[in-house]
């Protein structure tokens, strides 16, 4: 294998103007038949898929990875620039990325592969525009999962008060100082040690790709928009509601890949999802943590590709 493959091809940056914001994205095998978008998790970037892209490119996949707004090398807007940042906004970003970047090259349905927050965004996309999505591979899926099938259409006064309190709290909370301390006190490496079961996978490259965006002067304002946006979003953008909606249509096959040793989102959450929604396929990877695609890329790649191959839609 060419040792320069990753740097020269996988992470070669392209820039796309989305609603006035600069979005960074990369592609490998753009002329291949099967379009895939890799969606990173919280605090990560498109480069977190460095151990996966080549595998899929060699199997006729046009492998796209993009930095979600607020992360990686994409713009980091704050409340004044974008309002709130949540999976609804990121879903709109992905939808427009498909129509403006992928569609001129490829008309096939798109596969979405996500890690953590990226999985929630992929699920949101599958509900919002299921006619364009071939399948979702989520590894793992965050958010609280509730069995209650009653959806809330209106926010109660208590919830409205809570949302207002959250907004005020994060507007005045000194995130700039917190992020500064995080970078200086080695908190990022500590967090990675919690996320990864295989500690040997935490190398300088991984630490750098997580740390670099935090050091940008716009990172705190963007994090503030995320904290408010994710904490106050409507029920219809939470995983429980989205899974029920997707279940009703059954148009998008859904695969969960979960690490047995995931400390961030324990395995019982994945089992709970699979128990509530029998149409969801759950694959458990032993001795792996929150980022299976980076801890055990060969296992993750094989499970994902076998799922795609067996769909027989391409």
Determine the number of helices (DSSP H) and then strands (DSSP E) in the chain.
Answer: 14, 8
Q: CA 314 → CA 31, 37, 108, 114, distances in Å?
A: 15, 16, 8, 20
Cβ-in-10-Å burial (0-12, 13-18, 19+) of 164 comes to: exposed
**143 has a pLDDT exceeding 90:** no
Average pLDDT for residues 124-147, to the nearest whole number?
93
Q: What is the pLDDT of residues 227-280, one digit of tens each?
A: 999 999 999 999 999 999 999 887 899 999 999 999 999 999 999 999 999 999
Q: What is the DSSP letter of 245?
A: H
Count the neighbouring beta carbons within 10 Å of the beta carbon of residue 94.
27
Token representation of residue 220 = 């705190």
pLDDT of amino acid 144: 79
Question: Which tokens belong to 249?
Answer: 């249509």
- Side by side, the strands of the sheet bearing 281-285 are 14-18, 21-28, 61-66, 34-39, 110-114, 133-138, 254-259, 281-285
- Say if residue 216's pLDDT is above 80: yes
pLDDT of residue 120: 98
pLDDT at 5 (0 to 100): 41
Return the residue matching tokens 């094989």: 302
User: What are the phi and psi torsion angles at 187 (to 5°)?
Assistant: -70, -30
Residues with Cβ within 8 Å of residue 193, at least 6 apart in sequence:
199, 202
Q: What percent of the chain has pLDDT over 70?
A: 93
The pLDDT of residue 7: 43
Any idea how long the chain is? 314
pLDDT above 60: residue 140:
yes
Give yes or no for residue 296 having a pLDDT over 80: yes
- Boundaries of every domain in the chain: 18-311
Measured between alpha carbons, how far apart are the two ends of the chain, in Å?
A: 27
Instruction: With CA atoms as reference, report the closest residue to 41 among 14, 75, 71.
Output: 71
36 in helix, strand or coil? strand
**Could you name the CATH architecture of 18-311?**
3-Layer(aba) Sandwich (3.40)
40 vs 117: CA distance, rounded Å: 7
pTM: 0.93
Q: Write out pLDDT tens, residues 99-111.
A: 999 999 999 999 9
Q: Average pLDDT of 212-241?
A: 96
| Confidence at 152, pLDDT banded by 50, 70, 90 | low
Q: How many CA atoms lie within 13 A of 172 on its CB side?
A: 5
CA angle 223, 254, 242 (to 5 degrees): 55
Q: Please compute the mean of the pLDDT values over residues 204-220 and round it to a whole number.
A: 95
Tokens describing residue 214: 């935090």
């Amino acid at each position: 294998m060419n040792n320069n493959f990753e740097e020269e091809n996988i992470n070669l940056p392209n820039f796309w103007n989305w609603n006035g914001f600069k979005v960074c994205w990369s592609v490998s095998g753009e002329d291949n038949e099967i379009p895939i978008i890799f969606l990173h998790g919280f605090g990560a970037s498109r480069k977190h898929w460095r151990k996966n892209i080549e595998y899929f490119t060699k199997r006729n996949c046009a492998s796209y990875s993009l930095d979600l707004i607020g992360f990686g090398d994409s713009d980091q807007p704050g409340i004044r620039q974008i309002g709130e940042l949540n999976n609804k906004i990121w879903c709109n970003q992905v939808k427009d990325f498909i129509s403006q970047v992928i569609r001129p090259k490829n008309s096939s349905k798109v596969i979405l592969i996500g890690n953590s927050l990226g999985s929630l965004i992929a699920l949101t996309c599958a509900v919002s525009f299921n006619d364009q999505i071939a399948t979702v591979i989520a590894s793992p899926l965050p958010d609280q999962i509730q069995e209650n099938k009653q959806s809330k259409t209106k926010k109660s006064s208590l919830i409205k008060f809570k949302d207002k309190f959250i907004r005020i709290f994060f507007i005045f909370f000194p995130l700039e100082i917190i992020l500064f301390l995080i970078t200086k006190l080695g908190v990022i490496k500590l967090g990675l040690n919690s996320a990864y079961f295989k500690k040997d996978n935490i190398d300088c490259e991984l630490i750098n790709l997580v740390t670099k965006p935090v050091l940008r002067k716009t990172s705190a304002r963007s994090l503030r928009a995320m904290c408010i946006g994710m904490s106050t979003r409507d029920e219809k953008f939470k995983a429980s509601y989205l899974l029920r909606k997707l279940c009703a249509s059954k148009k998008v096959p859904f695969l969960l890949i979960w690490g047995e040793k995931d400390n961030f989102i324990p395995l019982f959450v994945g089992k709970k999802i699979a128990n509530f929604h029998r149409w969801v396929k759950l694959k458990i990877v032993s001795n792996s943590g929150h980022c299976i695609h980076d801890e055990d890329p060969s296992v993750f790649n094989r499970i994902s590709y076998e799922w795609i191959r067996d769909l027989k839609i391409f």
